[in-house]
Amino acid sequence: MIFTMAWRNIWRNKMRSLVIMFSITVGLFAGIDILALYRGMINARIRTVIDAEVGHLQIHDARFTQDYDPKFIVSNGPEALYAIRKLPAVKAAAARSVSFGMLATATGSSGVQINGILLEQENELSQLDKKITEGNLLNNARKNEVLIGKKLAKKMKLKCRSKLVLTFTDTTGGIVSGAFRVAGIYQSANAPLDERNVYIRMVDMNSLLNIGASFHEIAVLLKKDDALPSTQRSLEQLLPRYKIENWKEISPETDLLVKTTNQLSFILMAIIMLALAFGIINTMLMAILERTREIGMMVALGTTKIKIFLMVLLETTFLTLAGAPLGILIGWMLTEYYAKHGLDLSGMGREMMSSFGYSTTIYPEFPSDKFVGVLLIVFATAIVSSLLPAKKALQLQPVQALRR
């Protein structure tokens, strides 16, 4: 009977109950979709970091990472690269010669990281060929060509076939320079990265550095993300003399971003639930206030406090849970739709998104097991929200309540 009464009570003021149910529906689907969007953005950022920037793992001489002195090459690099490529978990591995120097034109200069690459390996690892927006990829047959990022090209007013000079230190500490011609302009999802990275053929770079066929870095891309810890352990055993870092160690700002976003998601959900809880509490307090006499009469007739509490609790729960399934359903449907088709945020500004390292097309993601968590949070909100109205109801003295 208490169950029936609780259910019917929420429909006594249909408009009021529908408004609160609607707000729960909107709050939930908005919350789920915002969290899914955040998660999608973070996943896209991680994918960019892994697939197009640093790979899953990087191998260096430990001394090289201290001040990037080009004399600290990966000793026995070609053998190490061969051994790494043989590992079953490895999808691709690319060698890079790296130096930091200056890009100069007739009108200005800019500090850059110069990457000497082997084209096939780099295309396999970071899909450099897919990022070319103007001009061409480097040509193995052409000497002293360079690929520059779009942002750097804009900043330095460079176009395809423009001339520039790259200056950096060699292994002896001497300054070396080379004149290069822009073969192509690339654009990745990370504009700051585009501004400071230029790519030349490894052979051109190594001849200036005078390091022969050696290199400074091996970037490794794995077939599966979850193979990272085990592969890192295997490589540490296989190549004990090298420093082996995963993407979280190489790009700690991305790892921090993931952790911060996770915390932000909890805070956002808590804020939504808190806002909903106030709405529910307000509605229930009004309902209790309107029914003071009726509740007093029920107590007078012999309804125990537990049953009064149960009635208020059930009413609050029904009110909350009635709007929840629709909110979760809409949230799930929208997430699924955009997870397949992608949400194009280019209207918000491609450059702005890119300047933060995000792609403009986001694929929202909300794991299905999290929906159970959302339901539990909603249920907990209902329970907490019922406490104050229930306390008010229990405090009613039948004699005073009946006088009203």
Residues that bind another protein (CB under 8 A): 1, 4-5, 8-9, 12, 293-294, 297-305, 307, 398-399, 402
Q: How far is the CB of 294 from another protein (least distance, A)?
A: 7
Structure tokens given for 290: 């309107």
Minimum CB distance to another protein smaller for 146 or for 396: 396
Q: How far is the CB of 293 from another protein (least distance, A)?
A: 7
Minimum CB distance to another protein smaller for 223 or for 391: 391
Minimum CB distance to another protein smaller for 192 or for 398: 398
Minimum CB distance to another protein smaller for 113 or for 292: 292
Buried-state track 176-208, b at ≥16 Cβ within 10 A, e below 16: bebebebbbbbbbbbbebbbebbbbbbebbbbb
Q: How far is the CB of 6 from another protein (least distance, A)?
A: 9
Minimum CB distance to another protein smaller for 95 or for 313: 313
DSSP state of 223: S
Q: How far is the CB of 381 from another protein (least distance, A)?
A: 25
**What is the Cα–Cα distance from 299 to 308, expressed in whole angstroms?**
8
**What is the Cα–Cα distance from 324 to 378, expressed in whole angstroms?**
7
**What is the Cα–Cα distance from 272 to 270, expressed in whole angstroms?**
5
Minimum CB distance to another protein smaller for 12 or for 341: 12
Q: How far is the CB of 11 from another protein (least distance, A)?
A: 8
| Phi, psi dihedral angles at 222 (to 5 degrees) | -100, 165
**What is the Cα–Cα distance from 302 to 306, expressed in whole angstroms?**
11
Q: Which long-range contacts (CB under 8 A, 24 or more apart) does 345-348 make?
A: none
Q: How far is the CB of 332 from another protein (least distance, A)?
A: 33
Partners of 219 in beta bridges: 58, 94
